[in-house]
Structure 1
């Protein structure tokens, strides 16, 4: 862990989160297919207060707290590092001022909750419980202090409703020693499994990412379904933590998708820059997370010198930790 500035108060942690998001994110304009740049692609600090409408459709997910007539109402704004707590929030319908209580199930769940540290070295994929009044809650214990970002990925009920990812900042108090972003490696090791990445991110265009899972040098050919697929992938842009929507290519039972060793996805990078990929996969009844650092516009295939590098790992919700999975270096 690198030495760095120590942050000991909620205000400092939150200020650092906003400063990092704006300083890095403001320098990257979104890109649409064909290479055209879209103006107004500021960082999360700017996007939190941006008016809904206009160019919002051009923004990646997770940069706005309000979008499309809905607002992520984060009831829990601050926590203490290392202490168990309950994270509570709701999705507000701005037309009625009430909590949304009806959602369409996507990938087996009504809502997917992602919590990531601003330095992208810790990551949680959570599935909170919804009360009848539309309040969501989940137990958490965040081990590291500093700025974090909370993402709610959901689709309201209704035939015309579209999927949204809203984001809000969460401060975790305590002594913070920020980590540097792990270097690029095409191979990640997690809990005795090796996951190799082939493919890359292309700004403004869809590209294929394929992950091959092996264990003890042998291909894993009996992966178990997780969230309606043999893997679930989240991609976040370093700096402003823009959230990429990534879709699996095929699903269990479709007659053509095999349960490993390969897991394939299609993703579109909104800009050039550095991204962090988090792959959840299930085998032997446990969900594990492999992570990768990639650069949009540069292929992720590795040479022999990179094959043995460790890319990090984690545990998923079925691991029984009392919270829904941790990825940490």
Structure 2
């Protein structure tokens, strides 16, 4: 190919890529009217807090959801493993860097039994992992992982540095998984999902810019489960990710084991706030009979109820791209129908 033709083809490719990115961004409602970012912006919506109420979910807010930035509030997620192979055992290595001190953070406040919670999710929200890494004395962390599907992933570090009085920080970094990527569509919103013989029913609505209660009831073989076991200091652990950009909401339950008022099932209650209208994927981890299981739900913030479909033209939904090889270039966030459990 002649030089002039190569340049023309390259320019056309760039134009197509930017056009796709613009279309994807336009499909999502904004978190808030843009402001100049500060280190106090970008923190997670933690336990339904941290986001002022906004009219119909599109008003101004002081903070962005968590996980959208690799650096914020003076801390940086330094991911030392930016690429792994699909279906192959690997080790994720990373550190949380204190930019002011120019060194790794080595002292963390324990939250729900752990110094740091590590979540890995594919851009298409098919694969989800809640990992428990180990920290070395020099502040480097490591966690074994095996991811079954190729594509773009996001790694989330959820932590609170020791001595920090405010709520925790959630940082996010991109992870490429090489192989043959075959994304599908986001599953429909359903009130009940089935996992390993369990039925989990979701009741409630996720609302933009306002607290709302989400109740999840666990049954097995048609009978309510009343002996859920504590997992990470609670009877349930819920993470919400927004389809498209994977904005992260880490929501803690209402009540905890041993507080004298919280029962061990069948219902687990959470309070959450969505940063905007749009589609979200909820991942509930619960422990029963000595094993942790994950139930995943699709919800649409801004709908009157959890089970309602997304408004027409409001979710950025569309046909999936054709399958093809993935070689380390992050793909757009498409929706899929399957979930892989840890």
Q: Shared fold by TM > 0.5?
A: yes
Tell me the residue number matched to 1:24.
Answer: 24
Checking the alignment, whether the CA contact within 8 Å between 1:191 and 1:313 is kept in structure 2 is: no
Shift of 1:97: 1.1
Aligned match of 1:211 in 212, 216, 230? 216
Q: What's the counterpart of residue 95 of structure 1?
A: 100
Do 1:78 and 1:172's aligned partners in 2 also have CA atoms closer than 8 Å?
yes
Given that residues 156 and 162 in structure 1 are in contact (C-alpha distance below 8 angstroms), is that contact kept between their aligned partners in structure 2? no
Partner Cα separation in structure 1 for residue 34 and residue 114 of structure 2 = 34
Superposition deviation, residue 24 in structure 1: 3.2
* Residue aligning to 1:287: 292
1:160-199 paired onto structure 2 within 5 Å = 160-199=165-204
1:1-329 aligned at under 5 Å gives the runs 24-25=24-25, 27-30=28-31, 37-39=32-34, 52-53=38-39, 55-56=41-42, 58-302=63-307, 315=341, 325=342
Would you say the 8 A contact 2:224–2:266 is kept in 1? yes
Please give the alpha-carbon distance, in whole angstroms, between the structure 2 residues aligned to 1:168 and 1:18: 21
- Tell me: CA distance 1:17–1:233, structure 2 relative to 1, closer, same or farther (3 Å): farther
Q: Deviations over 1:163-214 (max 9, x none)?
A: 0000000000111011211111111100000000000100000000000000
Gaps of 5+ in 2: 1-15, 43-61, 309-336
Structure 1 gaps of 5+ residues are 1-15, 31-36, 41-49, 304-310, 316-324
- Closer, same or farther: CA 189–177 of 1 in aligned 2, 3 Å: same
Q: Given that residues 92 and 98 in structure 1 are in contact (C-alpha distance below 8 angstroms), is that contact kept between their aligned partners in structure 2?
A: yes
Contact 2:127 2:147 in 1 (8 A): no
Determine if contact 1:290/1:312 at 8 Å carries over to the other structure: no
SS in 2 for 1:58: coil
Asked if the contact 2:67/2:172 (under 8 Å) is kept, the reply is yes
- 1:167 to 1:19, Cα distance in 2 relative to 1, 3 A: farther
Distance 2:305 2:204 in 1: 5
Instruction: Name the SS for the 2:165 alignment partner.
Output: coil
- Between the aligned partners of 1:177 and 1:38, the Cα distance in structure 2 is 35
Q: What is the DSSP-based 3-state SS (H/G/I as helix, E as strand, rest coil) of the residue aligned with 1:275? A: strand
Distance, in Å, in 1 between the alignment partners of 2:19 and 2:286 is 34
Structure-2 change in CA distance of 1:93 and 1:301 (3 Å): closer
Note closer, same or farther for the CA distance 1:122–1:281 as it changes in structure 2 (3 Å cut).
same
The answer on whether the counterparts of 2:300 and 2:306 sit within 8 Å (CA) in structure 1 is no
For residues 158 and 239 of structure 2, the distance between their equivalents in structure 1, rounded to whole angstroms, comes to 11
Deviations 1:134-189 (A, max 9, x none): 00001111110000000000000005353000000000011101121111111110
For residues 17 and 280 of structure 2, the distance between their equivalents in structure 1, rounded to whole angstroms, comes to 17
Contact 2:76 2:97 in 1 (8 A): yes
Aligned length: 279
- Say if 1:175 and 1:17 are closer, same or farther in 2 by CA, change over 3 A: farther
Q: Contact 1:189/1:312 (CA < 8 Å) preserved in 2?
A: no
**Structure with max Cα Rg:** 2
